[in-house]
Amino acid sequence: MPQILMFLVTLCFLSLSSSPSLAADFPAIGNVCRFAPDPSYCRSVLPNQPGDIYSYGRFSLRRSLSRANRFMSMIEDQLNRKGKVAAKSTVQALEDCKFLASLTTDFILSSSRTVDATNTLSLSRADDVHTFLSAAITNEQTCLEGLKSSASESDLSGDLFNDTKLYGVSLALFSKGWVPIRKRSRPAWQPQARFKKFFGFRNGRLPINMTEKARAIYNTVSGRRLLQAQADAVQVSDIVTVIQNGTGNFTTINEAVAAAPNKTDGSKGYFLIYVTAGLYEEYVDIPKYKRYVMMVGDGINQTVITGNRSVGDGWTTFNSATFILSGPNFIGVEMTIRNTAGPTKGQAVALRSGGDFSVFYSCSFEAYQDTLYTHSLRQFYRECDVYGTVDFIFGNAAVVLQNCNLYPRQPRKGQANEVTAQGRTDPNQNTGTTIHGCTIRPADDLATSNYTVKTYLGRPWKEYSRTVVMQTYIDRFLDPTGWNAWSGDFALSTLYYAEYNNTGPGSNTTSRVTWPGYHVINASDASNFTVTNFLVGEGWIGQTGVPFVGGLIA
């Protein structure tokens, strides 16, 4: 009799574990799926067998990778069938999707390999995977938005929607299973040296046909340390100059970029491109396989890279950028990147950055609507100027702007200014925009308009939009409510907007919006959005030699 009972119990268990209708009743599945944005969908895609968050997470990532490869094939099929006959806007949107799909495949493959190896990750390694999975979802959303105005939407939008939900399951399981609890209240850290001071040395034998500044840079970096802020200061493997009169290595920036090595690991240092003063009318593209590139100009308004692509002239927002950055570990210094399409042409991007671990120091970004597209991954901006009108800092990266000057301009008639439009679509994404220790004041054209244009700190582009403004000077021109709605009550309870210890006549929070998602926070909460805690940035920013404050400003 005991053997018969054991057989019946085993038979019952096997029946339950193989029954699709009862699979969702396993306690383990219910426990892990409560973290997902759509728990019922999560339960429907996990295997019909008991497991833990690690086994389910690995399964979800493998399935996500399969779907990513499938979607890439679908995009290529669409391009093959429609590429020669479809409208320009459709082809552009599909090309954008193909590029984004290739990135997504890379991100998910890397993430899957990482979690297959261990259940325990360091903070920085966990942040890598968390960032890659967040970016995969962002890529899907960007693709979908590009297709919305094209004839391809009906063919692919359903697949994009389902893929995004699956990637959301993978992100949720990873963020709850592998991401360690962050250590808060780390001490602020800042290199003592400053970047610019090292460009003044003169010694040794120099190459011919170099300007004085190129010689100074060459002396400083050729085979030696560029910055001496710390023991592992920046190394430079090679240096080339871009001079329009033909006396340097190249006359265009893109030629210099093409000369940079492919897929370098950075062990020999940065490939430094020195771009001398001049107006460079070209669309610069740093592709994903160009890693550890440093680009140094002659200063803001001296080295100027300019273009005029816009949505109004038929470009997608994604491809309207004058400067496109996809390669990781990029450093940009002392230059202006500009889009001159103007306020009447709609979205017209100056810089689009999807380069992980990208750093811009002492640069200026100038346009009107959608100036700075912080698309995805991890980014840091220090002592930069940003000029724009509608949503002029937007995207879904994990980004900190520190000690920057933000200048709202005079927009098209009938428009308001929003400094930010952050695009987080999933509550488990580690993305958001931090404005830290900056200055927000009107550009000259807006200042002379007697402030008839309403200006806000931001509005929620997506459901979980997240922006924090802290220890920043805000001039009197800001609308007292501080923040603007996107449409009706969309995202007002799911967004996270916060202010901490700002100064200036526009910083008074007594008349701010009363949305459920808006907060005036304390120092403890604000520390979550610093370079150290939000970007896990002390290592990767520290190695660039660019100055930063890791914690709150004392």
350 contacts 371 by C-beta, under 8 angstroms: yes
Given the residues 128, 298, 391, 426, select the one marked as catalytic. Answer: 391
Q: Which two tokens stand for residue 459?
A: 């509005």
Q: Which two tokens stand for residue 351?
A: 């810089």
At residue 463, φ and ψ (nearest 5 deg) are: -60, -35
Give the CA distances from residue 455 to residues 241, 256, 295, 480, 483, in Å, rounded to whole numbers and listed in that order. 41, 40, 33, 9, 9
How many whole angstroms separate alpha carbon 275 and alpha carbon 296?
A: 6
Q: Which of 192, 233, 229, 187 is nearest to 533 (CA)?
A: 187
Confirm whether 391 is a catalytic residue. yes
Which residue type is seen at 212?
A: E
Give the CA distances from residue 447 to residues 14, 163, 397, 409, 502, in Å, rounded to whole numbers and listed in that order. 73, 46, 30, 8, 21
Which residue type is seen at 376?
A: S
How many whole angstroms separate alpha carbon 251 and alpha carbon 253?
A: 7
Exposure class string for 202-223: b at 16+ Cβ within 10 A, else e: eeeeeeeebbebbbbbbbbbbe
The count of other CB atoms within 10 Å of the CB of residue 256 is 23
Query: Which residues are identified as catalytic?
Result: 391
